[in-house]
Structure 1
Amino acid sequence: MTTGLLLTLAALAVVDSTSFGTLGIPVYLLLAAERSPVTRLLVYLGTVAVFYFLVGVMLMLGLSTVMENFGDALHSRTAYWVQLALGVALFVLSFRFDPKRRKKLGKPERRFEPQPGGPRAMIVLGLTAGLLEVATMVPYLAAIGIMTTSDLPVMQWVPLLATYVLIMIVPPLVLLALRGVVLGWLDPKLERLRTWMIKHSAAAVSWALAIVGFLLARDAAFHLFFR
């Protein structure tokens, strides 16, 4: 396990922490009408964290099986060229999510405003958010792929995966703690953050694709040209 690997995983986790499911929905829950959002937010974040962790474990075990059968092929120069091409493709694809380009194409803006409820509703909301994002959580899938190709033993990738998931939910927990201390000062700023996230959601997707594409391309280029 290298420092470069840890920094790459940390960077991907930070990108994941800014997704709509891990930051946007918690902001909505914090600004809901009820006076105490603590319980519902913690239930929601706990559901999201457990969902992501279990999906990660299943993916790691599945990819580990693939690595046992095709490990040599996946570490070949051909495989790294494919990874480099994928990284470049994701980076180029990020430009297609530019809000200005979407506006030129005349596509309507998509908005999603979750409705707060009790613990059961928050579990359902967390699972729904996870299922909706599972096909598009590119940073998380990239992190799983990097950990798998690094040939980490179970005793290393399990705590790494758990740490990754915890980093993902740190921002809303920080906001929750701050709100408990400076309620009147923070709420207007959260409202502006919610408005900003709605306005720039497409740009966030674009940045996520660009960052993940860069990290994949960088990792492949290192193995192809610098090892």
Structure 2
Amino acid sequence: MSVALLLSLAGLALVDSTSIGTLFIPVWLLLAPGPVRLGRVSTYLGTIACFYFLVGLLLYFGGSGLAEMLGGALDNRPALWGQLALGVGLFVLSFRYDGKRGGGGGRVLRWRDRATSGDSSPRWLVGLAVFAALAEVATMLPYLGALGLLTTSDLGVPQVIALLAGYCLVMVLPALVLLGARVAWPRRIEPLLARLNAWIVRSSGSMLGWVLGIAGFLIVRDAAVRLELFELLANR
């Protein structure tokens, strides 16, 4: 298990922590008037983390089976060059989402309405978390990138499971920090949450661009390390 792999996974998890399901909705739940109900937000975050973890296990074991069928073809230099090209493509594509088109604001506002209009029962919160995660399955590029790194890492199953669990924990860690701060210092954290909410609504149009760009960079970095491109440049 290399340091480069751990750093790449941590970076991708932090990118994933800024999605609608992992940050936006928790912020809106924390902005509800009155004392925050710890179990309410914890139920939501636990559900979305478990959902991602289970999806990750399914995709990993499916991807591992495919890799075995290909006889290690995904871990040779042509495949790594393909990974490098994919990362570059994602990074270039990210510049198409500059936030000036304003297409993401309405979608985010609809999610805010869903998060704040329901009741506070555990069943509703679990349903909201699953619905948010399902809606993001098609765009969970950082998570798919992390699973790709794990599939080609030659790690044992226990290590992969532990890393997936750690990834999901890091993914909800910013929301957990905000939850702890909201419980401990409600008057101090409420203005910060309000500013964060305003930033979410204002910047939602460019959020996908940031996700694509950072995910592309991390995928490129992993491929470059495994291709030893940095060593080649240093020795020139």
TM over 0.5: yes
Alignment-mate amino acid for residue 74 of structure 1: L
Q: Tell me which residue corresponds to 2:172.
A: 169
Distance 1:174 1:17 in 2: 12
Alignment-mate amino acid for residue 105 of structure 2: E
Number of aligned positions between the proteins: 223
Q: Tell me which residue corresponds to 2:105.
A: 109
Contact 2:104-2:205 within 8 A present in 1 as well: no
Contact 1:29-1:37 within 8 A present in 2 as well: no
Query: 1:63-212 counterparts in 2 under 5 A?
Result: 63-100=63-100, 102-103=101-102, 107=103, 109-110=105-106, 111=109, 112-113=111-112, 114-115=115-116, 116-117=118-119, 118-212=121-215
Distance 1:121 1:151 in 2: 40
Distance 1:22 1:71 in 2: 36
Q: Tell me which residue corresponds to 2:12.
A: 12
5+ residue gaps, structure 2: 232-236
Q: Tell me which residue corresponds to 2:234.
A: none
Distance 2:157 2:104 in 1: 45
The SS at the match of 1:18 is coil
The SS at the match of 2:18 is coil
Contact 2:145-2:219 within 8 A present in 1 as well: yes
Identity of aligned residues (%): 50
Q: How many angstroms does 1:34 deviate by?
A: 4.9
Distance 2:75 2:14 in 1: 27
Q: Tell me which residue corresponds to 2:216.
A: 213
Normalised to the residue count of structure 1, the TM-score between the two structures is 0.93
Alignment-mate amino acid for residue 53 of structure 1: F
Query: 1:20-59 counterparts in 2 under 5 A?
Result: 20-59=20-59
2:219 is the alignment partner of 1:223: no
Alignment-mate amino acid for residue 10 of structure 2: A
5+ residue gaps, structure 1: none
Displacement over 4 Å in runs of 4+:
none
